[in-house]
Structure 1
Amino acid sequence: MSGICDGRVVIVTGAGRGIGREHALEFAKQGAKVVVNDLGTGPGGDGRSGGPALEVVEEIRDLGGRAVANSDDVADWEGAERLVKVALSAYGRLDVLVNNAGFVRDRMLVSMTEQEWDEVIRVHLKGHFLPLRHAGAHWRERAKADGPVDARVINTSSGAGLLGSVGQGNYAAAKAGIAALTQVAAAELGRYGVTVNAIAPAARTRMTEEVFAATMARPEGGFDAMDPANVAPLVAWLGSAASAHVTGRVFEVEGGAVSLADGWRHGPRVDRGARWEPTEIGAAVAKLLSEAAEPEPVYGA
């Protein structure tokens, strides 16, 4: 098997099912050696099984590719460290990290429990930081010893993180944090030859099938815009050598459409040149709002 990722070593977290599985398969088709990470949990993070990761490894091997399975918890410090070491032990190097693992615990804010908040923030946000931290430290050491590497990180944000989503305050906050983390990591790791980008995918997965059942049904014929396989080509390209000039960006991808998400930036400004009086602020805010574009609506609002 050969393609745009020939010889590259790729870790994909949450790769046992859904979008992550498609990433792993596509990277293998493009010539990469893949570490398939998955805890094998249920949609809400319950249970644990090495089966899903092993099944994807077997699929890749049946295609003629190379892959190994890993079932470490990416939101655990030692687990994320072991994951990076698996790639180095199996293949002697690491070139690409795709952070994808996650689950949802949807609830309106006034009904959400502390545990539901903590668990979703942990698996998504901490589960992105820790593999990134350990992979980044490895690439820094390689760069110090041998000069800049040619490495890639692709994080997984969401439209919920970019625009908000009613009933998903925990998930939206985590995904917004991932978008910001992507920008920071791109700035910090660029000196070592590492690019860091993120995607905000829309596809049919275990996390979305109940919420979007009406709009994400499988069509009887023709192009299936919600097939999770549609997301993988962009991720494979971002993991390739061809994407070295792209970093700190967030791409939305749905079906055959790819767009660049344009995040927070400085907008209209009023400078009084002195401290404001509270009674004067209202007029200033009215002026700013009149000059600014209307914000995109929150999903579900």
Structure 2
Amino acid sequence: MIGIVGAGAFGTALAVALGREGREVQLWARDRDHVAEILRSGANEARLPGVKLPKTVSVTAEIANLTRAEAVLLSLPMQALRGFLVGNPTLNGLPLVACCKGVDLTTLKGPTALIEAACPDSTCAILTGPSFAADIARGLPTALTLACADGEALQHLLSTPSLRLYRTPDVIGAELGGALKNVIAIAAGIVMGAGLGDSARAALMTRGYAEMTRLALALGGRAETLAGLSGFGDLVLTCTSAQSRNFRFGQALGAGQAFDTNVTVEGAATARAVSNMAKKMKIDMPITSMIAALIDQQITLPQAISALLSRPLKQE
């Protein structure tokens, strides 16, 4: 049995993809009313409309139902992960796979470090890469990175004919690729929302990728990981599609429009956390710093654009 914590769009999509292949899945949601509605309708219309759950997927509000799982996928917002792990010590000892992307604002740690701190007896991994929940749920071909010290068993457990997992031992690189691309996606959305054009977006993505790689290498990640699915692949997807919440958030910022505050935008918190981290480490991350300052309303959009365009000319 595979456990999935979090009945949002992504957690539900994973449950559908795995359940479609006959895998027994327990999908956990904290809201009992939400669980009751899913059980009544056979679908998670609030988070992933139009997709029926396979019969092999059970929905529960009891964490105890996950304790016999071969692995538990943690599909929670990054800023909620630490509190959940601390509050549910019964998961300690189970293989835990983070399915969130970002950096914890309080500790400046990534998902696997939070798992290791709260559940020291667990094997921990992260599942990341270019993917939208709707595509996974529809069975469209998707490739992801599974980062783990020894992830072969998990790779086979979680792969399906349409969901192809590549494994890497570079947890740091995979985590940072997934976290930082959300920040750059916000910036790409700003570029398009402000009407700066596709050429500007291409330049922004390229320079953003340089920032991502710079920080990842400084923290022990590998350049080839950033060039793979969890870095470059995810960057391309989220910077070019309105399905990305981070991109849509940036578009709204660039156009001076309001954005739905109920929508989780992982890149906003990550920009703040990484900007603080980069300052402490003396790593130059101008795009990330500008996004953090914009979100916190420390500068205006024209000021941010002017500051980036007036940086000294240098060798690429």
Q: Give the TM-score normalised by structure 2.
A: 0.40
Instruction: Choose 1 or 2 for highest CA Rg.
Output: 1
Q: Give the TM-score normalised by structure 1.
A: 0.42
Could you say which structure has the higher helix fraction? Answer: 2
